[in-house]
């Protein structure tokens, strides 16, 4: 049985996450966005929806669940693909403003991802 990992690397996704690992992973696979939508039901007619998200293929969904446990917030959801790819895309997302303010932003400012 062979592995794509370098000798001795093991499966990084099966180990408990460290802050340093999360920084590196999120730097490559995550994003923080602040989309603005027109919404007539909002007082000013616009809705701001900040979000922190990390996306992975189905084979790596376990790392998204580990990120959810690491941050203690967010949701892991599936985006069923209808294109020529062979696996669904999964995402870990945090939209709740309280979680962004107390969990994600303090972590990002300490670790500079």
pTM: 0.77
Phi-psi region of 110 (alpha: psi -120 to 50; beta: other; left: phi over 0): alpha
* Cα–Cα dist 33/110, whole Å: 19
Residue 48 is encoded by which pair of tokens?
């701001």
For the stretch 3-60, pLDDT in tens is 444 443 445 445 678 998 998 899 899 999 999 999 999 999 999 999 999 999 989 9
Q: What DSSP string describes 47-63?
A: EE--EEEEEEEGGGHHH
Residues in a beta bridge with 76: 92
Tokens read off for 111: 């670790």
Fold assignment, 17-111: Endonuclease I-creI (3.10.28)
């Amino acid at each position: 049985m062979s592995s794509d990992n370098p000798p001795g690397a093991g499966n990084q996704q099966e180990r408990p996450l460290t802050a340093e690992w999360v920084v590196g992973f999120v730097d490559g696979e995550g994003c923080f966005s602040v989309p603005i939508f027109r919404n007539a039901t909002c007082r000013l007619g616009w809705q701001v929806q900040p979000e922190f998200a990390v996306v992975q293929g189905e084979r790596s969904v376990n790392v998204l669940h580990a990120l959810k446990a690491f941050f203690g917030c967010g949701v892991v959801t599936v985006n069923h693909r209808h294109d020529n790819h062979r696996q669904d895309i999964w995402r870990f997302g945090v939209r709740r403003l309280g979680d962004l303010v107390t969990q994600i932003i303090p972590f990002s400012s300490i670790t500079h991802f």
